[in-house]
Chain A
Amino acid sequence: MTSERAQKDEEHVFGSAIDRQEDPRLLTGRGTYIDDIQKPRMVHMAILRSPHAHAQINNIDTNAAEAMEGVLAAYTWDDLEAAGVPGNIPSIYNVPDQQDADHPVLAREKVRYQGKPVAVVIAEDRYIAHDARELIDIDYQPLEAVVDPIEATKTDAPTLHENVEDNVAFTWEVGDSDAVDEAFADADRTVGFESVNQRLVPNAMEPRGAVAEFDAVTEELTVHMGSQNPFDHEEIMSKVLGHPKGRIRIVVPDVGGAFGSKSMYYPGETLTAFCAKQLDRPVKWVETRSGAFKSDEQGRGQVIEGELAVDEDGTIRGLQVKTTAGIGGDLSSKGVVAPTTTFAPLLSQQYEIPAIHFQSRGMFTNAVPTAPYRGVGMAESAFTVERLMALAARELDMDPAEFRQKNFIPSEAFPYETAVGSFYDSGDYEAGLDKALDLVDYEELRERQTALREEGRYLGIGIGCFVVAGGFAPSAASEMLGLTDPDAAVRKSFWESSTIRVHETGEVTAYCGTASHGQGSETTHAQVIADTLGVSVEDVEIIEGKDTKNAPYGTGTVGDRGASMGGGALAKSAEKVIDKARRIAANQLEVAEEDVEFEDGEFFIRGAPGKSVTLQEAADQSYLATNIPEDMEPGLEATSYYDPANMTWASGSYVAIVEVDTQIGKIDIKRFVAIDDCGKQINPKIVEGQVHGGVVQGIGQALYEEAIYDKDGSLLTESLQDYPVPKAAQVPRIDVDSTVTPSPHNPIGAKGIGHSGAVGPQPAIVNAVTDALQPFGIEHLEMPLTVDTVLQALHDAEEGL
């Protein structure tokens, strides 16, 4: 039987780099993604999106489209209204100073970004739907557009939402401005810079889509969709569509990546559901890549000013940061957080900074809405601080590694409360950077850099140290995010739940509220259970919260919570299962419960290991229920709700080594070292994969990617032909290693690792390139570091500009 094998199978436990259990299915084409779902009588929806970034809609004529053979219907806002659909997407996370503004699922009188859904067509096949879409005739009256968030603040800027005349969607601040003023007045020197953390397109491999089915008799609406938060989506869909929550079922099949982009609430899935209700037929919508470029809510897009006050000896005195975010034409359902509550809490990064002040404003702009994208706010935060660290080290003529080492929060100072009120749970930042510097042989590199400069070759070494908040989130955090407000769109907290059922065979079915979309949770969750219960990973089946009517309530896979929150919840249930099984075993062994020990799937009498009861035998007894303690209910199953005491605070120490060919503006990443501390690792191979993927995205932001809009709000990088996602050949070797400081409050000691890879590379690479170009007096370069950016900077340096 399996548990015996598991006892001996050291490989199948917590901390082992076993293969992902889901891969054989996914890699052999046996996964089920949205477009694989077929239903009888299914019809297809195509969305017509606005070609204008800002325009009044005078008239929409759908007659020609509807007259086309094979077309069932075309709908506009008026049809939603006529059907009594509320149709307005709410903001989930909120800050106190925030404006209400329209976010209709189909344009109502106005469009505020290129790509805004204006109408839908439903046809017998998707070709007809796309043909018919071209026949919808819309009379637009174009309006002046504003794309740059700073421009949007000006008094003569066009107004996007009539009720928000100044275009300010929200403002927020945190920290002690008086203390910062004092620190800046008192410090020996200050360094500052302003930079644009450019807009990014999330580009999940699988574009968004949905298949919706409606049962006109029971009024049950089933929506198959890629979702990171199915239960949130169920709740919001109920409100947006005006359909009872109890009669909506969200089912999430395999998901081809998300990076945050499938955690927001969007028009497309709602419209698919609406069409299914109207037509009483299953409706499929799968967005095209071009459509995804203009509808998947984009990342970053902030103009950030940062200033650091330091003393001559390298002591940091204070930090102030102001950000102006261009949040797009509609406020995304999660549009508030990146420029506010995920940005500021990380501002102390790895350093003791006695005074910090942060100010933020979100500006409506005629662009695709912005929302959480891998690294959300934390990438902006780390980039700002780590660039300031490099600039300050240069200003002080200190080695940038030494300057960091001088200011690290010492490992004995944890738990550590930062000047912005974050409680870091644990960390050893010095160890992380030391490991990274050792790996690259830092001292030797600096010598080589000097020698190469003599030959006219420009080597640069850049450091990016950061902290990432994960394990989202203690219920106490809900208040800060506006989730406890009486009229909150989703009134909830982000604890996690799990249920573990041990079958009479010893096999285990475990339910967990996470909703993985590529993370490998089927494997890591199984490892946590296998380790705790002493069973084999193959004998653990994981059912995640990806079906809102047939899975336990959960809060999804976002915010680096899959392993720490899901794993934590599962570990708690596993303990409960063991406790119950121990009583059964004690009963069998005819000893007191206290005298029964559990190890590797077996209960035995302390001091008398010869006589034992396996977990499977206890499970078997629990179902027979003929020989269990009298007061005990049958069955071996436990449910837990895990509400953590704190977030988890992972960290990373990244080093990039680049060589810049100054003749052609080319940056060659010679080596990239990523040292991460995500606490205890359930599966180092999955950790490594997460870091690799994240680092590639970080390199993408540093060197290649930017959603470029022209002044009229047209997206110029509207396909992968123009928007350079890094290809394998453009990615250097990535050396991944780790340090481990377990999270002291998490049941399994785990922290998050999802965001980290996409947070550290940007500062490491920009610091490396500016380090390489120090002989030219180049202090800062804006991302992405394109050929234009580098050649222009060198040209300006030459001209003495």
Chain B
Amino acid sequence: MYPAPFEYYRADSVREVLELLEDHADEETELLAGGHALLPRMKMRQDSPDVLIDINELDDIIGIGHDGGETIFGALTRYVDIVDSDRVWEDCTPIAEATATIGDVQVRNMGTIGGNIAHSNPASDPPAAVLASNAQIVCQGLDGEREINADDFFVDAYSTALKEHELLTRIHVPNLEKNDAGAYVKHPIPSTGSALIGVATILHTDGEAIESARVAVNGAMDHTIRLEPVEEALTDEPLEANTAVSAADHVTNNLEVGMLQDDIHASNGSRAKLLEEYAERALAIAVDRALDSSKAMT
């Protein structure tokens, strides 16, 4: 529990972070946000960065904004602020629902949404919600800002499309529109509460039929992925419970069991079974919610 020596900087601005990253380009550098992934690893010396840049004081990228049809999450927004926002629950249901299942109160008081996404832990909850929500991830480098679509962001276990010296600054999430609904359900890993399997979905509907759908999963693979065959099976289908059941049958259409995660927490066979079951449950909840909201409208 005693990390190796490191240099510590506390940055006051995004610019300063980027400059520090450049100044220390030749050293192993880590950004400290909520710290719940990084610090335990450093204490166990699984990570021993030379330089630690504390970004907790970057006020510019803390907080939740609302702009037209989207919700903008500053990268340093703590989980607790997402979970406590009624508006996020309404506009970005899967993001709120996934965030609410992370760890415990202490973890949610410190952990940040940007830190989570940038870490891309395959068992973490928000990535599937971000991917299902079709979010845009904004990052800043010394040469300027760029947007990465969630579809292109999650590359591998603990690996994203972020470049070496870029800072993830914001996540733009399109709001659910009337008749749309979303959900996130998970099977927790007993030791950590992370996702053995977590399924996020968003259904765009006209109140009677599903116009399009996005379904993404955590925990199954080495990074969050979309379940495209399920999405296709949902498209243009009636908004009813049976649709959820029959679409979930397509979960493993293009996923071999052997491709799934296989570890001490569960075999890939169990994960395949859970994936199908949780996809069905997530879809059933989303269908219910869409039906409820369209009923409420009429």
| Complex contacts, A730 vs chain B, CB 8 Å | 190
* Partner of A787 from B3, B192, B274 at Cβ < 8 Å: B274
- Tell me if A666 counts as interface (CB < 8 A to partner B): yes
- Tell me if A668 counts as interface (CB < 8 A to partner B): no
- Tell me if A289 counts as interface (CB < 8 A to partner B): yes
Q: How far is the CB of A120 from chain B (nearest CB, A)?
A: 15
| Complex contacts, A795 vs chain B, CB 8 Å | 269, 273
Q: How far is the CB of A171 from chain B (nearest CB, A)?
A: 33
Q: How far is the CB of B37 from chain A (nearest CB, A)?
A: 11
- B20-50 to A contact mask, C-beta < 8 Å, 1/0: 0000000000000000000010001100000
Q: Using a CB-CB cutoff of 8 Å, which residues 662-716 of chain A contact chain B?
A: 663-666, 703-704, 708, 716
| Complex contacts, B255 vs chain A, CB 8 Å | none
Q: How far is the CB of A488 from chain B (nearest CB, A)?
A: 38
* Complex alpha-carbon distance, A722 and B189, angstroms: 9
Contact A721 B192 (CB under 8 A): yes
Contact A722 B191 (CB under 8 A): yes
| Complex contacts, A722 vs chain B, CB 8 Å | 191, 264-265
Q: How far is the CB of B270 from chain A (nearest CB, A)?
A: 5
Given contacts A719-B44, A787-B196, contact A704 B190 (CB under 8 A): yes
Interface centre among A290, A664, A703, A719 (most CB of B within 10 A): A664
Q: How far is the CB of B176 from chain A (nearest CB, A)?
A: 27
Q: How far is the CB of B187 from chain A (nearest CB, A)?
A: 6
* Partner of A721 from B40, B45, B277 at Cβ < 8 Å: B40
* Complex alpha-carbon distance, A666 and B265, angstroms: 13
User: Which of chain B's residues has its CB closest to A791's CB?
Assistant: B270
Given contacts A127-B5, A290-B44, contact A664 B277 (CB under 8 A): yes
Interface centre among A289, A665, A708, A717 (most CB of B within 10 A): A665
* Partner of A664 from B191, B267, B274 at Cβ < 8 Å: B274
* Partner of B264 from A134, A288, A708, A792 at Cβ < 8 Å: A708
- Tell me if B154 counts as interface (CB < 8 A to partner A): no
Given contacts A719-B44, A787-B196, contact A724 B190 (CB under 8 A): yes
User: Which of chain B's residues has its CB closest to A126's CB?
Assistant: B2
| Complex contacts, A289 vs chain B, CB 8 Å | 1
Contact A130 B2 (CB under 8 A): yes
| Complex contacts, B1 vs chain A, CB 8 Å | 288-290
Given contacts A791-B270, A792-B269, contact A131 B277 (CB under 8 A): no
Q: How far is the CB of A585 from chain B (nearest CB, A)?
A: 59
| Complex contacts, A788 vs chain B, CB 8 Å | 266-267, 269-270
- A152-170 to B contact mask, C-beta < 8 Å, 1/0: 0000000000000000000
| Complex contacts, B4 vs chain A, CB 8 Å | 130-131, 134
- Tell me if B278 counts as interface (CB < 8 A to partner A): yes
* Complex alpha-carbon distance, A727 and B189, angstroms: 12
- A282-310 to B contact mask, C-beta < 8 Å, 1/0: 00000011100000000000000000000
- Tell me if A185 counts as interface (CB < 8 A to partner B): no
Q: Using a CB-CB cutoff of 8 Å, which residues 260-286 of chain B contact chain A?
A: 264-267, 269-270, 273-274, 277-278
Q: How many A residues, CB 8 Å from partner?
A: 34
Q: How far is the CB of A663 from chain B (nearest CB, A)?
A: 5
Contact B187 A723 (CB under 8 A): no
Contact A723 B191 (CB under 8 A): yes
- B91-103 to A contact mask, C-beta < 8 Å, 1/0: 0000000000000
| Complex contacts, B278 vs chain A, CB 8 Å | 664
| Complex contacts, A288 vs chain B, CB 8 Å | 1-2
Contact B191 A131 (CB under 8 A): no
* Complex alpha-carbon distance, A663 and B45, angstroms: 39
Q: How far is the CB of B104 from chain A (nearest CB, A)?
A: 8
Q: How far is the CB of B8 from chain A (nearest CB, A)?
A: 14
Contact A721 B270 (CB under 8 A): no
- Tell me if A519 counts as interface (CB < 8 A to partner B): no
Q: How far is the CB of A581 from chain B (nearest CB, A)?
A: 53
Q: How many B residues, CB 8 Å from partner?
A: 26
Contact B277 A663 (CB under 8 A): yes
User: Which of chain B's residues has its CB closest to A717's CB?
Assistant: B264
- Tell me if A786 counts as interface (CB < 8 A to partner B): yes
Interface centre among B189, B190, B192 (most CB of A within 10 A): B190
- Tell me if A720 counts as interface (CB < 8 A to partner B): yes
| Complex contacts, B40 vs chain A, CB 8 Å | 721
Q: How far is the CB of B150 from chain A (nearest CB, A)?
A: 27
| Complex contacts, B193 vs chain A, CB 8 Å | 727
Q: How far is the CB of A69 from chain B (nearest CB, A)?
A: 12
Contact B187 A787 (CB under 8 A): yes
Contact A791 B273 (CB under 8 A): yes
Q: Using a CB-CB cutoff of 8 Å, which residues 214-265 of chain B contact chain A?
A: 264-265
Q: How far is the CB of B277 from chain A (nearest CB, A)?
A: 5
* Complex alpha-carbon distance, A704 and B192, angstroms: 12
| Complex contacts, A723 vs chain B, CB 8 Å | 191
* Complex alpha-carbon distance, A792 and B268, angstroms: 11
Q: Using a CB-CB cutoff of 8 Å, which residues 756-801 of chain A contact chain B?
A: 786-788, 791-792, 795
Q: Using a CB-CB cutoff of 8 Å, which residues 192-210 of chain B contact chain A?
A: 192-193, 196
* Complex alpha-carbon distance, A129 and B2, angstroms: 9
User: Which of chain B's residues has its CB closest to A290's CB?
Assistant: B44
Q: How far is the CB of A396 from chain B (nearest CB, A)?
A: 34
* Complex alpha-carbon distance, A669 and B253, angstroms: 35
Q: How far is the CB of A544 from chain B (nearest CB, A)?
A: 30
Q: How far is the CB of B35 from chain A (nearest CB, A)?
A: 15
Given contacts A788-B270, A792-B269, contact A131 B5 (CB under 8 A): yes
Interface centre among B193, B264, B266 (most CB of A within 10 A): B264
Contact B264 A665 (CB under 8 A): no
Contact A716 B264 (CB under 8 A): yes
* Complex alpha-carbon distance, A729 and B104, angstroms: 10
User: Which of chain A's residues has its CB closest to B188's CB?
Assistant: A730
| Complex contacts, A724 vs chain B, CB 8 Å | 189-191
- A125-162 to B contact mask, C-beta < 8 Å, 1/0: 01101110010000000000000000000000000000
Q: How far is the CB of B231 from chain A (nearest CB, A)?
A: 22
User: Which of chain B's residues has its CB closest to A130's CB?
Assistant: B2
Given contacts A126-B2, A127-B5, contact A721 B191 (CB under 8 A): yes
Q: How far is the CB of B195 from chain A (nearest CB, A)?
A: 13
Q: Using a CB-CB cutoff of 8 Å, which residues 718-758 of chain A contact chain B?
A: 719-725, 727, 729-730
User: Which of chain A's residues has its CB closest to B278's CB?
Assistant: A664
Q: How far is the CB of A725 from chain B (nearest CB, A)?
A: 8
Q: How far is the CB of A310 from chain B (nearest CB, A)?
A: 36
Contact B270 A127 (CB under 8 A): no
User: Which of chain A's residues has its CB closest to B190's CB?
Assistant: A724
Contact B266 A720 (CB under 8 A): no
Contact B266 A787 (CB under 8 A): yes
* Complex alpha-carbon distance, A385 and B1, angstroms: 42
Contact A720 B269 (CB under 8 A): no
| Complex contacts, B273 vs chain A, CB 8 Å | 663-665, 791, 795
Contact B191 A720 (CB under 8 A): yes
| Complex contacts, A129 vs chain B, CB 8 Å | 2
* Complex alpha-carbon distance, A719 and B265, angstroms: 13
| Complex contacts, A720 vs chain B, CB 8 Å | 191
Q: How far is the CB of A466 from chain B (nearest CB, A)?
A: 25
* Complex alpha-carbon distance, A730 and B189, angstroms: 11
Contact A664 B187 (CB under 8 A): yes
* Complex alpha-carbon distance, A631 and B16, angstroms: 88
Contact B269 A791 (CB under 8 A): yes
* Complex alpha-carbon distance, A460 and B266, angstroms: 24
Would you give 28 A-B contacts (Cβ < 8 Å), ordered by A?
A126-B2, A130-B4, A131-B4, A131-B5, A288-B1, A288-B2, A290-B44, A664-B187, A664-B277, A664-B278, A665-B274, A716-B264, A721-B40, A721-B192, A722-B191, A722-B264, A723-B191, A727-B104, A786-B190, A787-B266, A787-B270, A788-B266, A788-B269, A791-B270, A792-B267, A792-B270, A795-B269, A795-B273
* Other A-B pairs, 5, CB within 8 Å; known A289-B1, A722-B191: A127-B5, A130-B2, A663-B273, A721-B192, A723-B191
Top 7 nearest A-B pairs (CB, nearest first) are: A724-B190, A724-B191, A130-B2, A288-B1, A663-B277, A791-B270, A704-B190
Binding site for A on B (CB under 8 A): 1-5, 40, 44-45, 104, 187, 189-193, 196, 264-267, 269-270, 273-274, 277-278
